[in-house]
Amino acid sequence: MYDEALHGKDHYEVDRRANAVLYEGIGEASVRNTALENRRFLGRAVRYLAAECGIRQFLDIGSGLPTMRNTHQIAQEADPDARVVYVDYDPIVAVHGRALLANKQTRIVTADMRDPESILDHEDTRDLIDFGRPVAVLFVAVFHFITREEDPAGIVSAFRARSAPGSYVAISHLTSDGTPAEEQRAWEAAFEGATSPLVFRGEGEIRALFGGYDLVSPGLVRPWQWHPSDDGSPETTSLFGAVGRLGAS
């Protein structure tokens, strides 16, 4: 769905059908703008972490199919030796991604974020990521697929426990704050019957996901407000995003 909304080439008929429900309920421009705003937040966050914070290791959780300006491409502009592990539970992502992301400094791991240890202890993760050094963990537009019972804050905590001081986390999330009820219902309808239902959260719930991290300026904001640039990010109100830094314990 994400790639189709970004006018990408790597998606399937099921993605087009699901997005058609969203386009009818919300409006095509609004859905595409939300996807674009989120993708540009990811790009700015990775660029900031690599170029300004010196991060050379990234875990991109729930990365999905490769699309425009992937994490390793942005990070490796700052340092060609930057390492990126992409993680997704869909085996199709791994098969498709390995063909598109051929790079000795990248890996694609098939695992479910609900089981952090399966990611952290995976041989490809351990081969590429040194958890004794700072690492950035990216949860971009994924936690709204995790229910409260599945403990999203606990998932972040598991990665934080393995991370060295000076590590970072980046999160973006659909929010109920500022999103009209009818728009929320349209989003939820598009995911009815999907493996993971869609969960909107308020600002306080999203902020709680950063427990143990210090939010870097400007804090938890609409993604287009986070380190804004001249990339023309649309000013939508359905998302919040932030980056947090792990200090010394």
Q: How many CB atoms lie within 10 A of CB 62?
A: 21
* Helices 28-47, 71-78: inter-axial angle, 10-degree rounding: 30
User: What pLDDT does residue 235 have?
Assistant: 66
User: What pLDDT does residue 79 have?
Assistant: 96
Name the residue among 221, 238, 139, 229 with its Cα closest to residue 184. Answer: 238
Name the residue among 187, 191, 192, 166 with its Cα closest to residue 236. Answer: 187
Q: Are strands 57-61 and 136-140 parallel, antiparallel or unpaired?
A: parallel
User: What pLDDT does residue 197 have?
Assistant: 82
Tens-of-pLDDT digits for all 249 residues of the chain? Answer: 444 444 444 445 555 555 565 666 565 667 778 888 888 899 999 999 999 999 999 999 998 877 667 999 999 999 999 999 999 988 877 777 776 666 789 999 999 999 999 999 999 999 999 999 999 999 999 999 999 999 999 999 999 999 999 999 999 999 999 888 888 888 787 777 667 788 999 999 999 999 999 999 999 999 989 998 766 555 667 899 999 999 976
User: What pLDDT does residue 6 have?
Assistant: 44
Q: What superfamily would CATH give domain 2-245?
A: Vaccinia Virus protein VP39 (3.40.50.150)
User: What pLDDT does residue 20 have?
Assistant: 65
